[in-house]
Structure 1
Amino acid sequence: MGVADAVDLDLALRGLADGNRRAILRAIRSEPQPVGSIAEKVGLSQQTTSHHLGVLRKAGLVVGTREGTRHLFVVNTDGIAAVRSYLDEFWPARLAALKAVIEAGQGEARG
């Protein structure tokens, strides 16, 4: 089973569709943080931040761990990799089309 199979792509893309959730992902991409710190960084209430973290966790984009009495959240790189893998499927066809356009333009320039 591949990474993309382990993540519900529809949930992941819906999770990324919200600007607040993308801001949360940027805030926690480098190290695990508690809800309060995340909320402060992104300018949302703790309740709203918790809601968005729940959506991101359900989508497979965030993982939560417990450190003593604190819940810490960090980006799930496997979830992000699944989204990237899906989007990467579109590049070969687009690059081939771009190459054809460039080569056609070079042929016209020579002619």
Structure 2
Amino acid sequence: MSADAVADLDLALRALADGNRRAILREIRSAPLPVGAIADAVDLSQQTTSHHLGVLRRAGLAASTREGTRHLFAVDTDGLAAVRSYLDDFWPDKLAALKAVIEAREGADRG
């Protein structure tokens, strides 16, 4: 993984560490929404919501578009794909370890 990719992943994981940001991502995963609607849905002020959206944008987890005079925010799937790819690397080892434990228990039960 390149130094830039590691830095991007670190930003994304730090952004995801905050529960308010995860709540915001849940709200914007289905459809782009304006700040006001997001703020109402997550019970935060528009100023606080805007701050969190800025963090999510810098981390590559949210994107914004303009619709007339409104800014709409949506999940940036590319940023989430990088996080998922990182986390997916853990599963083969964990599944192999789980399989070994189960097989050992089955062998002990038989013998």
Pairwise TM-score range, normalised by the shorter structure: over 0.9
Distance 1:42 1:7 in 2: 28
- Name the TM-score, length of structure 1 as normaliser: 0.94
In structure 2, runs of 5+ residues without a counterpart are none
The corresponding residue for 2:20 is 20
Superposition RMSD on alpha carbons, in Å? 1.5
Where does structure 1 differ by over 6 angstroms across 4 or more consecutive aligned residues? none
> Larger relative contact order (C-alpha < 8 A, sep ≥ 6)?
1
In structure 1, runs of 5+ residues without a counterpart are none
The corresponding residue for 2:106 is 106
- Name the TM-score, length of structure 2 as normaliser: 0.94
CA shift for structure 1 position 78: 1.1
Distance 2:73 2:52 in 1: 12
- Equivalent position amino acid for 2:96 in 1: A
Residues 7 and 40 of structure 1: CA distance in aligned 2, closer, same or farther (over 3 Å) = farther
CA contact under 8 A between 1:7 and 1:59: conserved in structure 2?
no
What is the count of residue pairs matched by the alignment? 108
Identity, in percent, stands at: 76
Distance 2:25 2:7 in 1: 16
